Amino acid sequence: MAGEILSRDGGGRPKAWLAWSSGKDSAWALHTVRQAGSFDVVALLTTVNRTHGRVAMHAVRESLLEMQAAAAGLPLIQVAIPSPCSNQIYEAAMSEAMGRARDERVRHVIFGDLFLQDIRAYREKQLARCGLAPVFPLWGIETRQLAEAMLSGGLSAYLTCVDPRKLEREFAGRRFDAALLADLPAGVDPCGENGEFHTFACAGPMFSADVAVTVGDRVERDGFVFADLLPRSAARRIPRATVRTTTPGEEV
């Protein structure tokens, strides 16, 4: 009982970490939870490629990730993983992080997942082993409706990764906006939940200030197309007329 009491803030809300991908869904999950007021989000949790210092899969620079956390007013907990990363190594790293969460009296982890039942079941299983529970504030919302709510609510984002098997390469680096939604081919989820694309959230009601970025080079690596985003204050615009291919292990 004492532990459960300590796991809540002064207002009686349970403490939670939020799984932060740097993308629009995790950003909107943060906004949604803060609006509801049912959890005290005390940190953002992100997996980072230790070789290149980028967010796993989204390939967002670590410096931009830190700018997001500062704008969200939350400490950032980074879980470093290798690339490539086996499931065993990933689970060991996350288990260690969850041990820290428990030590800090956190009992919930919030996710921005939308409808993939196998992903949800996996998270529930893994967290149960660590004595924590997942929370899915966006679960089951129709994704066209959700995407439009994000945009009308002031969220701004860019596509940082595209699966060219599902979406044209030219979408990498585009702003996530109404024009993009209109251009998505039939069968592509408006939120990219089936892995069609990943994003970087740069503005919205979850941030105290915008994270200004410039879209740089586009590269094709490991079967995906990545758009490199740079902090606008330090960025030098790089022509994006072509997509170049990198060798395994080369940084975006």
Q: How far is CA 77 from CA 43, 48, 99, 167, in A?
A: 7, 10, 13, 32
pLDDT of residue 100: 96
The phi and psi torsions of 107 (rounded to 5 degrees) equal -125, 0
List domains and CATH numbers for the chain. 2-135 (3.40.50.620), 143-234 (no CATH)
CB 233 within 8 A of CB 209: no
Instruction: List all residues 6 or more positions away from 75 whose beta carbon is below 8 Å from its beta carbon.
Output: 42, 43, 44, 69
The separation between the first and the last C-alpha atoms of the chain, rounded to the nearest angstrom, is 49
Position 243 scores a pLDDT of 43
Q: 167-207 pLDDT, tens per residue?
A: 999 999 999 999 999 999 999 999 999 999 999 999 999 99
Task: Look at residue 89 in the predicted model and tell me its pLDDT.
Answer: 93
- The whole-model pTM stands at 0.88
Which parts of the chain sit beneath pLDDT 50?
1-6, 235-252
pLDDT for the residue numbered 52: 78
What does the pLDDT look like over 94-121, one tens digit per residue?
A: 999 999 999 999 999 999 999 999 999 9
